[in-house]
């Protein structure tokens, strides 16, 4: 298994993106805060669309 991980920490929030090349859906998005946390597996085919939607939302709000 080869795993790469990117982590962003801000105050009480941690955002992780994990790529595990041995998994069936190898991209995981994890968001943790003091009150709640969740993890979602992202299919490789959906990843470009997710990135596009996040970029559009970011551009619209900044």
- Does residue 47 or residue 8 have the better pLDDT? 8
Query: pTM, whole model, 2 decimals?
Result: 0.75
pLDDT category, 51, cuts 50, 70, 90? very high
**10-15: long-range contacts at Cβ-Cβ below 8 A with a sequence spacing of 24 or more?**
none
pLDDT category, 12, cuts 50, 70, 90? very high
Query: What percent of the chain is predicted at pLDDT more than 70?
Result: 97
The CATH T-level fold of domain 3-61 is: Nuclear Transport Factor 2; Chain: A, (3.10.450)
CB atoms within 10 A of CB 26: 19
Per-chain mean pLDDT for the chain: 91
What are the domain boundaries of the chain?
3-61
DSSP line for 33-48 = -SS-EEEEEE-TTTHH
């Amino acid at each position: 298994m080869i795993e790469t991980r990117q982590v962003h920490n801000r105050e009480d929030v941690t955002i992780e993106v994990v790529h595990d090349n041995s998994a069936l859906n190898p991209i995981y998005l994890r968001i943790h805060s003091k009150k709640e946390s969740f993890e979602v597996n992202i299919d490789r085919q959906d990843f470009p669309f997710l990135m596009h939607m996040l970029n559009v939302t970011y551009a619209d709000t900044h």
